[in-house]
Amino acid sequence: MARSFSSLFFKAAKKISKLQRAALRMAAPKAARKRTVSARKAAVAAGHAAKAAKAANAAIAAKATSGAAPRSTAAPPLGNGRWEASRQFSDGAGRRLAFARYTPAAPPATGMPVVVMLHGCRQTSVAFARGTRMNQWADAGGFMVLYPQQSMARQVQRCWRWFQPDAHHGGAEADLIAAMIQAEVARHGLDPERVYIAGLSAGAGMAALVALRHPGLIAALAMHSGPVVGDAHNAASGIGTMRRGSIKPLFPLLESVADPAVLQLGMPALILQGQLDPAVAPRNARQLFEQFRALNLPHPEDVPVERVLGLGTEKAYRRVDMLRGRKTVVRLCEITRLEHAWSGGDPAVRYHARSGPDASALIWRFFQGQRRVAAVPAELGQAAT
């Protein structure tokens, strides 16, 4: 019996040992699995930490880059010459006019021409200079550029008041601009026979007023996307003129806002207009052409010379010329794919478009052939700073 008890004991002990070994074997893989899971969790955590570090480094780098951004993304210079953005002119009556002045990199010693550029509504002189790139042509052609800027105190959207041509509003602004030009001609010894003026939209309307009120000062005029002259006399009628042109006899409208001397002196004029313009109806350009045709060439039998240039490209435009002898005195450029914007300008600047021919080039080339032989001497007694 003792033997049987002993054998039972040993058998039970063996079974217990086997169970213990089996338990150890089963426990060993489980522990390994736990270690693997822990390792995986650690690896994931390490990955997250690495990503966080990378993101932090990227943020630091971005911050450093943003700090340097103004230097790397600064606007390009406005030409190679001297740009003076904040000039002030005051006339004898104490009226003030802000303007910018650009002097080309290599100006001629004496008798430099000058081009006056009038911006449109919601523009500034700086934006207009950048968008038109006229300063680059000044460097190439050796002429000064003046950029008068409308005061928001006079017109909240910086519109020149061409639509109120009376002596207290638009006429007064035109006279102030003319006085500033005369002072600059005298101060810098500019050529009084080569003073030109150009404008866009409302600036075109004001450029026409300046030229027609001061024909002895201005040698030639360029109007880009401008309204017919003399039709509007308040803001509401100005909008109507822009949308539809005029239904009135055209030449008497021009005479109504002009100095009578212009009838003898004439006024060479270049008109540019986008055919897709939703703001200023293309009819305005054709009516401007007829107004200045009658002013410069009173003979109705004179036949225009027409050409289409850049056909099939985004630069395409129709050119209509009126000649006096062999000189073009009135030119109309109808630009096929252009809306309400400066043709061939910097598209990064509002109201300037890549499409169409380079309007600044067309304007300067037209001006080069014009000269005011009977120029009026510049008036003295004006102050510019």
- Can you read off the two tokens belonging to residue 177? 């601009």
Question: 39-64, pLDDT tens digit by residue?
Answer: 455 554 555 555 554 554 544 444 44
Q: How many CA atoms lie within 13 A of 42 on its CB side?
A: 6
| Cα dihedral sign, 33-34-35-41 | positive
Q: Where do we find the tokens 């005195």?
A: 329
279 or 378, which is more confident: 279
Ramachandran angles phi, psi of 166, nearest 5°: -70, 170
Q: What is the rounded distance in angstroms from the CA atom of residue 19 to the CA atom of residue 13?
A: 10
What are the angstrom distances between the C-alpha of 35 and each of 24, 27, 47, 48, 205?
16, 12, 18, 20, 84
- Whole-number average pLDDT of the chain: 85
What's the mean pLDDT in 87-94? 91
What's the mean pLDDT in 99-110? 92
Question: 316-328, pLDDT tens digit by residue?
Answer: 999 999 999 899 9
Q: Is 189 left (phi over 0), alpha (psi -120 to 50) or beta?
A: left
Assigned fold of 82-384: Rossmann fold (3.40.50)
The beta strands (E) that lie in the chain are given as 82-90, 96-103, 114-118, 144-149, 195-200, 220-224, 269-274, 305-309, 317-324, 327-335, 383-384
Q: Which among 236, 176, 186 is positioned nearest to 206, based on CA atoms?
A: 176
pLDDT of residue 92: 85
Q: Is residue 364 predicted with pLDDT exceeding 90?
A: yes
Q: Tell me if 326 sits within 8 A of 305, measured CB to CB.
A: no
pLDDT of residue 300: 77
Q: What is the rounded distance in angstroms from the CA atom of residue 341 to the CA atom of residue 347?
A: 9
Q: Where do we find the tokens 């009819």?
A: 283
Q: Where do we find the tokens 């030009």?
A: 181
Q: What is the rounded distance in angstroms from the CA atom of residue 370 to the CA atom of residue 194?
A: 7
Q: Is residue 206 predicted with pLDDT exceeding 80?
A: yes
What's the mean pLDDT in 254-263? 97
Give me the numbers of helices (H) and strands (E) for the chain, helices first please: 10, 11
| Cα dihedral sign, 102-104-110-116 | negative
Q: What is the rounded distance in angstroms from the CA atom of residue 267 to the CA atom of residue 218?
A: 8
What strands lie across the sheet with 144-149, from one edge to the other?
305-309, 317-324, 327-335, 269-274, 220-224, 195-200, 114-118, 144-149, 96-103, 82-90, 383-384
pLDDT of residue 2: 43
Q: What is the rounded distance in angstroms from the CA atom of residue 62 to the CA atom of residue 187?
A: 50
Q: What is the rounded distance in angstroms from the CA atom of residue 27 to the CA atom of residue 50?
A: 34
Q: What is the DSSP letter of 49?
A: H
pLDDT of residue 254: 98
Of the listed ranges 110-114, 241-245, 287-291, 380-384, the one predicted with least confidence: 380-384
What's the mean pLDDT in 202-215? 98
Quick count: other Cβ atoms within 10 Å of Cβ 39?
10
Quick count: other Cβ atoms within 10 Å of Cβ 361?
17
- Can you read off the two tokens belonging to residue 378? 């510049």
Q: Is residue 72 predicted with pLDDT exceeding 60?
A: no
pLDDT of residue 48: 55
